Each structure stands twice: as C-alpha cells, then as structure tokens.
Amino acid sequence: QVQLVESGGGLVQTGGSLTLSCAVSGRSMSRLGMGWFRQAPGKEREFVSTVTGSGAGKHYADSVKGRFTISRDNANNTLYLQMSSLLLEDTAVYYCAATNDVYGRSWPTWYLRPSRYAYWGPGTQVTVSS
C-alpha cells in the first residue's frame, strides 16, 4: 500500500517562499506517477504540477507557472514543490498524489485530473498573508 505524507506548509507573507515535501512509502517512487494538487476553502481540488518518472519533464498550472518548481528524488522516495513569489490566492491545502497506472498514459494530459490518482496524502496547509 502506497502511503504519502506531506510536510513544509505554514504561514508566509505575500512574496515569500515555501518548499513542500512528500515522503512516499510502500513502493518505489520511480514506478509512480506523481503530482501536486491544492484545494482552497469552498473550491474544488485543482491541479498544480506533475513530473515525469525521471524528473526531466515538468508541467504546471498556468496560475503557478514561473513561480513553482516540482522535483522528485526517486532514490529517497521524496517529491518536492518549491514555491516562491507566493500570492494570497495560493492559500490552500496542498496534496501530494500518486498513481501506479502509468503505462501507456499520455503525459501530461492524463495526470491533470485528481481522479487519475489512487493515493493521496493528508495534505499540508499553506496560508499566505498580506
């Protein structure tokens, strides 16, 4: 059973930075499709970023492009999300997600929907204040 645990959330002022981590256990992360999602109060869960198995390919939501950087360390089974130039609208619970249904799937299109992911962490709160 794959388990995910996020960390690194917190309170930060606009323009600040945070780095989120997601520790993966139960299976080698190199065999998993990985992504970050977020959910603000009263809103649906939305895609933030995904990365290919090797880490070479990265895709971002337009709202975070140029400000967030996703990376993965397969050797240490850890996924990261570096966030900078944070805005008030980045306030949300951030979730790490994983799927083992990766073969033959079109990247990044297939990985944009939350329903594609079978495994989720409990989330970490990111609050951006003015």
Please state, in angstroms and rounded to a whole number, the distance separating the CA atoms of residues 55 and 70.
9
Give exposure, 81-114, as e/b (b: 16+ Cβ within 10 Å).
Answer: bebeebeeebbbbbbbbbbeebeeeeebeebeee
Instruction: Answer yes or no: is pLDDT of 103 > 90.
Output: no
The reported pLDDT for the residue numbered 41 is: 93
Residue pair 52/35 in contact (Cβ under 8 Å)? The answer is no
pLDDT band at 102; cut points 50, 70, 90: confident
Would you say how long the chain is, in residues?
Answer: 130
The reported pLDDT for the residue numbered 45 is: 98
List, edge to edge, every strand of the sheet that includes 78-83: 3-7, 18-25, 78-83, 68-73
pLDDT digits (tens, 9 = 90+) for 61-88: 999 999 999 999 999 999 999 999 999 9
